[in-house]
Chains A and B, each alone.
Chain A
Amino acid sequence: MNTPVRTFRSYWQVAPLSLVLLCFLVFPILTIVIVSFWDFNAYQLLPDFTFDNYAFSLTSDVTLKAYLNTFFYAIATWLITLILGFTVAYYLAFHIESNLMRNLLFILCTIPFLTSNIIRMISWIPLLGRNGLVNGLLTGSGMVDQPVEWLLYSDFSVILAFVHLYTLFMVVPIFNAMTRIDKKLIEAAMDAGASTLQTIFLVIVPLCRSGIVIGTVFILTLVMGDFITVRLMSGGLSASVGVLIYNEISLLQYPAAAADAVILLITILIIFSILFRFVDIKKEL
């Protein structure tokens, strides 16, 4: 009989978070969606309801190239961080016997996060530049005559920076899923005659599927929404969707930028809705 009162009261518990999300997530996104339908000229925004921004963006070669580039970065980074993350997590979860050692090594993995992203990216420049350490070593030892150009300001350096920045986001969820695997299952697989590789692919991978999917979500969101890494590490030579939006903002073309942002958002949501078909995320958290 006091159910209505209790239901009403329980709303207070979710009120703070709802308010924060409303103000800082829902409201900005709504604003972006609204602005994406506005018109603009060189120096002002014109409230309107036009599909021009979308029409322009969706038919432009620049957008297509930027998307292809973004997907390339995302998939390459995903693949490399997946292999690295799985290997590191596997080592931590199954090869380290003592809990103390495991925790220490895990903390070691997080050390790169003690400095800012920008510093970490910039620190690659003296290493990979034309006169950098790596090229110095290569030319000095006579392995190459000319400094290697593709080390910096190239797709290579962009993906390298992404991998460096984000591998931990793959390690953590996979490690988390792996620690929940009963060690007896591995013995049971051995008992059935499975080799290490068979055990990994038939038992461990299926059982840490949720960790892999969550890691994938992190990596894809981070890479696809990024603009600073691509700008810095490609030296402005390649463009991702993030860079595209950033450029439009610096030219004060807010409605165009908003339209591109909405398209990017929808793209990512479609990818995730496909991903989440493979795993019941609620069960795993």
Chain B
Amino acid sequence: MKKGAIELVCINKAYGNKEAIKDISLSIAAGHYCCLLGPSGCGKTTTLRIIAGHETPTDGDILLDNRNVTGLPPRKRGTALMFQNYALFPHLNCVDNTAFSLKISGVAKATRHAQAIEMLKLVNMESYTDALPDQLSGGQQQRVALARALINQPDVILLDEPLSALDPFLRGKMRVELKRIQQQLGITFVHVTHSQEEAFALSDQVVLMHDGVIEQQGTPKEIFQQPKTAFVAHFIGGHNVLEGQIHQNEFHTGSIRVKGLAQALSSSPRTNVPQQFSLRFDRIKAAPQPDEGLHTQPFTVDAVEYQGAVIQVQGHYQKGPELSVYVSDKAFFAHPFQPGQEIYLGWDAHDLNPLQPPVHS
């Protein structure tokens, strides 16, 4: 059986009067790659540090493999934390850094060095055994930090923004590496990040946090296809948020009316109350002329941004809403549009994803 199942039960953490984490409950299955995602100050790092045992929750319990570890020091939990800026000991070379915890537990020098070299091999750093951290690049330091975290064969590895200090090219490479090591070892990884791209690329489970609460959790696909709140839709990007009201199977937002809602929605929507929907940029069709399936109102283009595979077009209807649209580069360059030009948009009622009101006001 895989080890490293994490369960947080009603965790609260307050610093003075400020609540950093409000009543979080979360379970992470053994051997899963979980990303805690959110903007800075959302409580994701605090949550990680609570799992690691570097912060004590004001209230609540932490269970690892059904063992309550709330009061235990970090080393007794079977977790290992990889720090944001790696926190390698500057006076120790790679081998001694990696073997530090073995030295603490009194393992003989030859044995611990052999094990450390084994770990450095796993992260492809075996040729830098004698180098001091100062002599290594960011990516290399990170590999050593990972080796140091892995050497005790923890059930859970906790990573605090592990890729944020690397340049984009290296970040992509290390991302693949992290996933490879996680799958090779089959242990639980909990990874804190503010990049949805990183979270989506790595995770089995994404936990999106905002203001000390979990806004939504699920697989990357679930979150991207059905964001639960306007915050989630904005944060993960690629989604318009439409605000309006529902009148008899029609959704009214600004000058636009979307028909055929009842068929599109599984639960029957409340009428005559404000309602939000999210709509993906890439699910909107755009054409220079009015056509069947397009809204008859003209849409004024405000900005055109070239993004390679797609062109992002921003604009607005005269009485709202403002929308962003992805147009494939092929379609765009067949009929390019300029800012100021009027075009016509259309989308399927099925592509409207109903949003819940914010988790907290």
Contact = CB atoms under 8 A, between A and B. Distances in A.
Contacts of B75: 190-193
A188 interface: yes
Interface stretch (B99-107, B260-268, B313-321): B99-107
A184 B83 contact: yes
B80 A191 contact: yes
A198 B52 contact: no
Interface stretch (B4-12, B84-92, B161-169, B332-340): B84-92
B42 interface: no
A192 B83 contact: no
A194 B100 CA distance: 9
A187 B84 CA distance: 12
Contacts of B84: 184
B16 to A, nearest CB: 12
A198 B105 CA distance: 11
A188 B89 CA distance: 9
Interface in B60-106: 73-76, 80-81, 83-85, 87-91, 100-101, 103-105
B103 A202 contact: yes
Interface string A55-96: 000000000000000000000000000000000000000000
B54 interface: yes
B74 A194 contact: no
Nearest to A186: B87
Contacts of A191: 52, 54, 74-75, 80-81, 101
Interface in B99-144: 100-101, 103-105
A206 interface: yes
Contacts, number: 58
B90 A188 contact: no
A185 B74 contact: no
A57 B206 CA distance: 80
A191 B49 CA distance: 11
Contact of B104 (A185, A198, A206): A198
A188 B91 contact: no
A268 to B, nearest CB: 28
Interface in A154-207: 182, 184-185, 187-194, 198, 202-203, 206-207
Nearest to A194: B104
A100 B83 CA distance: 28
B54 A193 contact: no
A98 to B, nearest CB: 13
B300 to A, nearest CB: 51
B54 A190 contact: yes
A185 B89 contact: yes
Contacts of B76: 193
Nearest to A188: B87
Contacts of B90: 185, 207
Contact of B83 (A187, A198, A203): A187
Contacts of B104: 189, 192-194, 198, 202
A182 B75 CA distance: 20
Contacts of A192: 75, 100-101, 104, 148, 152
Given A189-B100, A202-B103, A184 B74 contact: no
Q: Which 8 A-B pairs have the closest CB atoms?
A: A193-B75, A192-B101, A184-B87, A188-B87, A206-B91, A191-B74, A194-B104, A193-B104
Interface of A: 182, 184-185, 187-194, 198, 202-203, 206-207
25 contacts: A182-B85, A182-B87, A184-B83, A184-B84, A184-B87, A188-B87, A188-B89, A189-B100, A191-B52, A191-B75, A191-B101, A192-B75, A192-B101, A192-B104, A192-B152, A193-B75, A193-B101, A193-B104, A193-B105, A194-B101, A198-B104, A202-B104, A203-B89, A207-B90, A207-B91
